[in-house]
Each structure stands twice: as C-alpha cells, then as structure tokens.
Amino acid sequence: RAAALAEKEPPFIRVEGVTKRFGSFTAVSSVNLEIRKGEIFSLLGGSGCGKTTLLRMLAGFEDPTEGRIFIDGQDMTDLPPYERPVNMMFQSYALFPHMTVEKNVAYGLKHMDMTASQRADRVREMLALVQLSDFSHRKPHQISGGQRQRVALARALAKQPKLLLLDEPLAALDKKLREATQFELMDIQDKTGTTFIVVTHDQEEAMTLSSRLAVMDKGRIMQTGTATEVYEYPNSKLVAGFIGSINFFEATIRDVRDDVATVDAPELGATVEARAIPGLSPGQPITLAIRPEKLTISRSKPEGPNAISGKVRDLAYFGKDSLYRIELPSGRVLSINSVNSRRVGENERVADWEDAVWLSFDPSSAILLKD
C-alpha cells in the first residue's frame, strides 16, 4: 500500500501543538500528529472528544487557537479552505436532490479551471471509480443509501485533493452495508492514492479501515498506532476499555524478571504472570487487564503459571461460540466468549452449567496498566 511506501518520507501531514478553545472551553488540547502520504488514518473517540473540530481545523473551517498545521511540507495554518489541497466529505453527504448523479459530481469541479470536455472526462472517470457509470442520470432519491455515499465520495475526489477528510463517512448506512462499504472505501483510496483522514466513533470501523489510528478523549490524543498496536498494547485503561472488551483487575506487583512481571491479583484468587512494562517495582499497585478472548476454559487444570479456578454460572450458545459467565472464588464474575468445537455431534461446548472449570491465559496476553 502507498502508506507503507511513504514510511521513509517526511510526514505528509504534521499537526504541531494544536489547541482549539471556544471561549473558556478547550475542545482540542495540544495535539501533535504525523500522518504519512497514502494513509487511511482514523480519529477515533466518543462524542464530544474533539475529533470533528480537529478535522475542521485541517480543512481550514476553524482556526487553531494555538499551534500549526503543515500539509505536504507547507504551513497551511493561515490559509482559507479553498487554498488548501484538501476536500471534505460530510456525514450528511449534502447531495443536491434536484441534480442528477453526474451533475452532483460535476458540482465538485465548479471552481476549477477546466474546459467542458475535461470536466466531462473527470466526471466519467470518477463515476467509473465508484462504479456508478450506469447511474449517472438518476437523481439521489432514485439510488440506494450506499450509492449516495459513493456519489458524495466521487464528488469529493473529483478535484483530486491531496487530502480527503471524511466525517463519519459510513454512519448513515446499516450495519451490513457499512461493512461492505468499508472495503470499497479502502479500494478507492488505494486506486487514487489520496490520503484519507476519517472521523469515527466506531472502533471496529477504525480498525478495519485504517493503516493507523489515534484514540482521542477530552480533546487529547491518548494513543496513536496501528489497530494491532492499540488493541494489544494499550497505554492506558481508557484506550484498553475503548477498543474491544476487556476485564480489569486490581493487582500488586510482586516481582519483575526481564519481560515478565509476577502480580498478586486477589480478585483472581491467584498470583499470575503478565507482560512487563517499563518502570515497575515490587509493591506497586497496578491494573491487570485481560481480554475475554485471551482466556481459555478447560475442565482439567492446565499446565503453566496462570491457572484460575471458577464455576460456570451462566451459559449462552451462539453457534460459532458460547458465552460463559464464570464465577471466581472471590465472587467476581467474568464473561468469556469461547469458540465452539469444529466437530458437531459430541458436546460442542467445553463446559456446562455449574461445572467447575479452569481459566488460563498466556502471560504475553495479560496487560499491565499504570493508569
């Protein structure tokens, strides 16, 4: 992918110490960000965390209170939107209902210095790109929601911006269509090589689409990385809890050896091993975090350091997996999704109601968090 090729180049977008205050309220706080050419980069966070405000500053619709924004090596901070090599696709799509698909896409070229035939060629090219060539004469109400989304994308890309900003691009689509459209969006991005910055509150969408993502909270960037980095190596309770589900336990560091820490976890009723992080010392209180899918359920006591006993409280069969609610001796109840057997006919489940079971996990999958 283009983003991988651009890894060694200077960053295409650099956001330096950007803060945005509305009166006394800080919507975006000291944000630093580097994005490479050809990336699909997501700004991920809950409602009100400042992601749209950051996007609008990149587009030039808002001025930063502090800090600077560079695109392709040029300081854009004081330039108006129309002088930036940037376009934005809005969540509502903002298509003109009385215009055909073709005219809507051509509208994106309104202020461009082009001949009529160049313009027509570009519109044709864009409609082919989003696979809507056969729909050029329809009006927005005569096409589906997914097709409307693609018209909006074609219009936004028609000017050939170096950077396309997409605010919740898939939010108006239902779940199935959204999943299919994610891959279309990635294909289109790949074909054009345009850098995309996507705002979303949907963590699965951000993980599917993005080469890298930034998790935001209260105007700050909490962590930046690939989907795998942010999921497997979260740097805070907030990020760990925002991306995927996770169980948190209060624990205390007992000992640290190389990359493994031994921790006392009273709620687990055990002393267990976890992946060490820098700066741990014996006696230090810590949060131990384990994702549900990293736990294995078994009937007999497993080998290895991290074996915890429990009892099946509740059980729900979902076909591909079963949800177990396991009660530990401390009274703590854990939810675990366990993949069902590939063989059908015997007992597909590992355990039944009231069964005494063992839970185990690999030390490398147990996350320690200081805050």
Query: Which tokens belong to 311?
Result: 């009892």
In the chain, where does DSSP find H-type helix? Answer: 2-5, 51-59, 101-107, 116-129, 145-158, 175-192, 203-209, 227-232, 237-242
* Closest to ligand ATP by CB, 52 or 181: 52
* Closest to ligand ATP by CB, 45 or 108: 45
Distance CA 82, CA 238 (A): 37
* Closest to ligand ATP by CB, 153 or 216: 216
* Closest to ligand ATP by CB, 26 or 133: 26
Instruction: Provide the b/e sequence for 288-311 (b: ≥16 CB within 10 Å).
Output: bbbbbebbbbeeeebeebbbbebb
Q: Determine the 3-state secondary structure of 87 from DSSP.
A: strand
Distance CA 349, CA 107 (A): 58
Find tokens 């960000």 and name the residue.
Answer: 33
Q: How far is the CB of 20 from ligand ATP (least distance, A)?
A: 8
Q: How far is the CB of 131 from ligand ATP (least distance, A)?
A: 29
DSSP codes joined into one string, 293-334: GG-EEESSPPSSS-EEEEEEEEEEE-SSEEEEEEE-TTS-EE
Q: How far is the CB of 75 from ligand ATP (least distance, A)?
A: 23
Q: How far is the CB of 278 from ligand ATP (least distance, A)?
A: 31
Q: How far is the CB of 165 from ligand ATP (least distance, A)?
A: 12
Q: How far is the CB of 66 from ligand ATP (least distance, A)?
A: 16
Q: How far is the CB of 370 from ligand ATP (least distance, A)?
A: 26
Query: Which tokens belong to 240?
Result: 């760990």
* Closest to ligand ATP by CB, 13 or 28: 28
Q: How far is the CB of 294 from ligand ATP (least distance, A)?
A: 30
* Closest to ligand ATP by CB, 27 or 185: 27
Interface ranges with ligand ATP (CB under 6 A) = 22, 25, 27, 45, 47-53, 201
* Closest to ligand ATP by CB, 86 or 256: 86
* Closest to ligand ATP by CB, 81 or 302: 81
Distance CA 146, CA 240 (A): 32
Judge contact between 77 and 22, C-beta under 8 A: no
Query: Which tokens belong to 95?
Result: 């298509």
Taking CA atoms, 362 is separated from 98, 299, 303, in Å, by 60, 17, 11
